[in-house]
Amino acid sequence: LSSYLIDGKAVSKATLAKVGAEAAALISRGLTPGLAVVLVGSDAASQVYVGAKGKAAKDCGFHSLQFDLPETTGQAELLALVRRLNADPQVHGILVQLPLPRQVDSTTILETIAPEKDVDGFHPINVGLAAIGAFDRALIPCTPAGSMILIDHACEALGRKLDGAEAVIIGRSNIVGKPMAQLLLRESATVTVAHSKTRDLAGECRRAEILVVAAGRPEMVRGDWIMPGAVVIDVGINRVAGLQPGTTRLVGDVAFAEASQVAGAITPVPGGVGPMTIAMLLSNTVTACCRQNGLPDD
As annotated, the active-site residues are: 53, 97, 120
Cβ-based nearer residue to ligand NAD, 46 or 198: 198
Cβ-based nearer residue to ligand NAD, 215 or 266: 215
Binders of ligand NAD among residues 234 to 263 (CB under 6 A) are: 235-238
Question: Nearest distance from residue 287's CB to ligand NAD, in Å?
Answer: 19
In the bound state, the residue with its beta carbon closest to ligand NAD is 173
DSSP letter for 118, please.
B
| CB-CB contact of 267 with 273 (8 Å) | yes
Q: For residue 248, which phi and psi values (nearest 5 degrees)? A: -130, 165
Asked if residue 283 binds ligand NAD (CB under 6 A), the reply is no
Question: Nearest distance from residue 220's CB to ligand NAD, in Å?
Answer: 6
Please pick, from the candidates 171, 179, 264, 268, the single residue that binds ligand NAD as defined by CB under 6 A: 171
Quickly list DSSP for 245-283.
Answer: TT-EEEE-SB-HHHHTTT-SEE--SSSSHHHHHHHHHHH
Asked if residue 176 binds ligand NAD (CB under 6 A), the reply is yes
Distant-in-sequence, close-in-space partners of 137: CB < 8 Å, separation ≥ 6: 129
| 265-266/248-251 β-pairing | unpaired
Cβ-based nearer residue to ligand NAD, 200 or 298: 200
- How many whole angstroms separate alpha carbon 223 and alpha carbon 233? 14
Note the residues at the interface with ligand NAD (CB under 6 A). Answer: 143, 170-173, 175-177, 195-196, 198, 201, 214-217, 220, 235-238, 273-274, 277
